[in-house]
Amino acid sequence: MRSDYEDYLVDDNLHINWYPGHMKKTRDLVRNNLKLVDVVVELLDARIPYSSKNPDIDKLAGNKPRVVILNKSDLADRNKLNRWINYYKQKGIKAIPVDTMKGAGLNKLIEECKNVTKDKMEALKDKGRKERPIRIMIVGVPNVGKSSIINKLTGRKSAVTGDKPGVTKGKQWVRLKGNLELLDTPGILWPKFEDQEVALNLAFSRAIKDEVLDVETLALKLIEKLMIIEPEKLKARYKLEELGETPLETMDMIGRKRGFITGRKELDYTRIAFTVLNEFREGKIGQISLEVPEDIK
């Protein structure tokens, strides 16, 4: 570990900014194909509904019927999740918690897609138009679980999945049960993160590739946040009687408790970092939500 690392770690911002070229193409794809669909399904990460919401979607979707999915609900704090559901209810939008591991909430998703397009489909029928599938566009930031949801809805491996952003590469139509057709799109971020807190939350959840970040600094930032919002879960997971006075002290304590020591008898900060990040992402630290509606500025 380099000698100047401690000073670097306590810097307030990582200045995260990541916008691969294919994301611009996806934005154009969404805009150009919007006229083909009846309803937009917006996927959000239930742990970070605000941070995982792409503000461009509101502009792109316009007046199209919208259904919000709070995916990975099994990893979120239930009380805070209910507050997000009520937040969207007050805005006139039904937010549906989904757990793709168990398939929970998927039937409600199909039901709501039919509900918000009922008037349109009945109007087409009254005009003598042949019945056709309800066409859905599913959008969201990378690694929010779009492919997993599609595979659950079709009952087969229709879309490529992966535990890293950028797996879904192009447009594909997928036939679903219940006379639905879904247009899947790759995950899209936005060109510039004005709020670095949003950028950090996305990085914590791996919507931004670890490969383009300093994971040791990122893990320290996550520890800092967990020390504030979920200190007891952090202590319980790493069997700590008390947390350190600073995030770096806590990181050191975690490393020593887990025995992450290099051959030179120094703490292996890279191993500590990946352990903390992955155990948060997998829910091993506990059901944790990083933000609540009241946090919205």
The H or E element containing residue 223 is helix 215-229
Domain 5-15+213-295 identical in fold to domain 21-184: no
Query: What's the maximum distance between 2 C-alpha atoms anywhere in the chain?
Result: 78
137-172: string of b/e by CB count within 10 Å (b at 16+)?
A: bbbbbbbbbbbbbbbbbbeeebbebeeebebbeebe
- Provide the pLDDT for residue 151: 83
Residue type at 291 in one-letter notation: E
Domain ranges of the chain: 5-15+213-295, 21-184
Q: Closest by alpha carbon to 117, among 139, 98, 132?
A: 132
Tell me the helices (H) and strands (E) count for the chain, helix number first. 12, 6
Radius of gyration of the chain (CA): 21
CA atoms within 13 A on the CB side of 21: 0
21-184 is a CATH 3.20.20.370 domain: no
Kindly list the distances between the CA atom of residue 4 and the CA atoms of 11, 15, 23, 145, in Å, as whole numbers in the listed order: 12, 19, 35, 38
Inter-CA distances, 277 with 31, 258, 288, Å: 34, 15, 13
Name which of 99, 112, 95 is nearest 152 in CA terms.
99
pLDDT in tens, the chain (297 residues): 332 323 323 344 456 665 566 666 777 777 788 888 999 999 999 999 999 998 888 888 888 898 999 999 999 999 999 999 999 999 888 999 999 888 888 889 989 999 998 888 888 888 888 878 889 988 888 888 888 888 888 876 554 444 444 434 455 678 887 778 888 666 777 666 778 898 899 999 998 888 878 999 999 999 999 999 999 999 999 999 999 999 999 999 999 999 999 888 899 999 999 999 999 999 999 999 999 999 886
The pLDDT, as a whole number, for residue 23 is: 66
Distance CA 26, CA 88 (A): 26
DSSP β-bridge partners for residue 45: 71
pLDDT of residue 14: 58
Task: Please report the pLDDT score of residue 6 as a whole number.
Answer: 32
Question: Is pTM, for the whole model, over 0.95?
Answer: no
> Does domain 5-15+213-295 fall into CATH 3.40.50.300?
no
